[in-house]
Chains A and B, each alone.
Chain A
Amino acid sequence: MKEILWHGRGGQGVVLAAQILAEAAYLEGYGGVTSAPTFGPERRGAPVVASTRVSRNPIRTVAQIEAGDVAVVLDASLFGMVDILGRLREGGPLIVNTPSSPENLGIEGCYTVATVDATEIAVASRLIVGGMPVVNTPMLGAFCRVTGLVTLDNIERALKRKMASDAAGANFTVVQAAFEKTIVREKEKERHG
């Protein structure tokens, strides 16, 4: 089972991103998928977490994820506020929306780090909702690129199941752009002995 944590701020669409991934993973043939928001009240701008679980078999757990296999960060200003690495298994990957390169992000420890400027991609595509660039869907493109867990085709199908066709089309454009522009720095090989 793969456990994915989505970190963002209220209003950035972490819950929807977690849902679209669950949808895409099901279309990919994973029989077990779940997605959950952080339970309780949510406030615009406050740090929020959503999760997706993906498994070949039906999932029987609804407990909160202690440490995920993948962390996707929609807002790099959360580092220092939220213990993102504390809830990520060693190795990662950690996928961050930032103009920085993985090397310049200053992540210590043995993690695969990937970065993409999802905000810039959304602005360039004029994909702006309520005055905010849409960063959740481009991060799905980055997720595909880094993990290979789901294909872009199934992200597109999932978008069509979750939103109206023109919105799905516009969002898939930024998914593809983010897929292309994601920079990945593989974790260092574990040293033995």
Chain B
Amino acid sequence: MADVRILTGNEAAALGVKLCRPNVVAAYPITPQSQLAEILSRYVEGGEMRAEYVRVEGEHSALTVCISASTVGARTFTATSSNGLLYMHEQLHWAAGSRLPVVMCVVNRGVGAPWSIFNDQQDSLAQRDTGWIQLYCRDNQEIIDTIIQAYWIAESLYIPVMVCYDGFVLSHTMMPVDIPDAEEVRGFLPPYKAHTLLTPEAPRTINSVLFPWRRPNPEGVLCDGYMEMRYKLQAAMTRAHGVIQKANDDFAGVFGRDHGGLVWKYRCEDAELVFSGMGSIANEATVAADLLREEGIPAGVAGVRTYRPFPREEAAEALRSAKALVVLQKGLSYGYEGCLTSDLKAALYGTPLRIPVVDVVAGLGGRDVKAREIADAGRDAWKDLQAGKQGNRSLWLNCYTGEDHAG
């Protein structure tokens, strides 16, 4: 019988982590992640989870503990938000470069300055190029399920994975969550095997300085240079497409829930006006698509679940019938446009699809985003399309932009 509980996103995440049986958890509390760190420390203290909980003085150390523990063969977990994630930045590169399958929850929150404790996705978007896989969750069920898949993906590829979910709107909102059976999770997720196990019996130097060229080691074996090592990370990221899809499909086979793999689609089959986004805002867009369908506008949603590696082909496929694309995003590359907008435009390059793209920045610092506001943005794009306007546009949804606003 299904074990359905009404949980916050943080509670769902904590249960997901417990089901994956990590050996080491290191975290530093930060709003809105705190509840997750607190629950995990309670599990460890109460003997519910046989792991070592390492209390640290900051996020840089939290990830360093995970890197070290992973190197000696431990399955590891950490979680953070906002400036805590920014503080980890150096070690994010280190974990990915060392090919350590650390799993981390990023409870998405706006970054300072100015301070905000509320939700947007600038924190994880700013870590886009660190070599981590990034998965974005729509609701609390997807959080618990994605954490289990994340370990499977990370340990198949030796690439660390961020499981991102929106602060407060998911982390602090309760909804029904079907808890996967512990034995079934045990069957789905085999024990972690380190690729290079550092032990006292076999001491070695790991990640010493590499020279620009390939070089033989003392045994005369020609070894990778820096660039080959980096190429292998990129090649593994390319393989990750199939691995992420397989994790999704195998998980669906065992647990009966299919979260879409890399890109999920809602009423996309015949959609001419397509919204895209990541996380809860994309879920909100499904309600907007329903509103527009009632008015006769053929709207749908192509939600990006996997942001890195970027699902170029899957996204282009989901947009097959689109005549206009509206990209909703809670973060941007200052001086250019929304990060997801750039990526989706690039994915369409070289395809027959030449459609106007509306770049919508929304929900920064926790500003509420309502389905009717998303529908308004979609309706405007639809009217432009009907009027034969083909250009791209940018807008900041529900934001006072003064007299200079170019519209």
Contact = CB atoms under 8 A, between A and B. Distances in A.
Contact of A22 (B6, B170, B283, B371): B6
- Interface extent on A, as a size class? 20 to 34
A31 B176 contact: yes
A63 B369 contact: yes
A41 to B, nearest CB: 8
B343 interface: no
A26 B284 contact: no
Contacts of A23: 6
A66 interface: yes
B369 A40 contact: no
Contacts of A40: 117-118, 168
A33 interface: yes
Contacts of B172: 36-37, 39
Contacts of B283: 60-62
Looking at B117, B172, B173, B371, which has the most chain A CB atoms within 10 Å of its CB?
A: B173
A26 B6 contact: yes
Interface string A28-58: 0001111111011100000000000000001
Nearest to B171: A39
Contacts of A37: 172
Given A60-B283, A63-B368, A26 B4 contact: yes
B6 A62 contact: no
A59 interface: yes
A36 B174 contact: yes
B293 to A, nearest CB: 14
Nearest to B168: A39
A64 interface: yes
Interface in B364-401: 366, 368-371
A64 B368 contact: yes
B91 interface: no
Contacts of B44: none
The B contact surface, by secondary structure, is: mixed
B284 A62 contact: yes
Nearest to A59: B175
Nearest to B368: A64
Interface string A142-177: 000000000000000000000000000000000000
- Interface extent on B, as a size class? 20 to 34
B70 interface: no
Contacts of B134: none
A162 B43 CA distance: 18
A63 B173 contact: no
A63 B283 CA distance: 11
B280 A62 contact: yes
A115 interface: no
Interface string B6-40: 10000000000000000000000000000000000
B170 A63 contact: no
Nearest to A62: B169
Contacts of B169: 36, 39, 62
Contacts of B371: 61, 63
B287 interface: yes
A63 B370 contact: yes
Given A40-B118, A63-B371, A66-B370, A22 B286 contact: no
B374 to A, nearest CB: 9
B6 A36 contact: no
Contacts of A41: 117
A58 B168 CA distance: 19
A19 interface: yes
Contacts of A58: 176
Contacts of B287: 60-61
Looking at A34, A60, A61, which has the most chain B CB atoms within 10 Å of its CB?
A: A60
A60 B289 CA distance: 12
A48 to B, nearest CB: 13
Contacts of A63: 284, 368-371
Contacts of B284: 60-63
Contact of A34 (B117, B175, B369): B175
B174 A22 contact: yes
Interface string B106-142: 0000000000011000000000000000000001000
B176 A35 contact: no
A39 B370 contact: no
Contacts of A35: 6, 173-174
Interface string B49-66: 000000000000000000
A33 B140 CA distance: 12
Contact of A33 (B166, B170, B175): B175
Given A60-B286, A63-B284, A19 B174 contact: yes
Given A32-B176, A33-B6, A39-B118, 20 more contacts: A19-B6, A19-B174, A22-B6, A22-B175, A26-B176, A32-B175, A33-B176, A36-B173, A39-B366, A40-B118, A41-B117, A59-B175, A60-B286, A61-B287, A61-B371, A62-B169, A63-B284, A63-B369, A63-B370, A63-B371
Interface of A: 19, 22-23, 26, 31-37, 39-41, 58-64, 66
Interface of B: 4, 6, 117-118, 139, 166, 168-170, 172-176, 280, 283-284, 286-287, 366, 368-371
19 contacts: A19-B6, A33-B6, A33-B175, A33-B176, A34-B174, A36-B173, A39-B118, A39-B168, A39-B366, A40-B117, A40-B118, A40-B168, A61-B287, A61-B371, A62-B173, A62-B280, A62-B283, A62-B284, A63-B371
6 nearest CB pairs, A to B: A39-B168, A62-B169, A36-B173, A63-B370, A35-B174, A34-B175
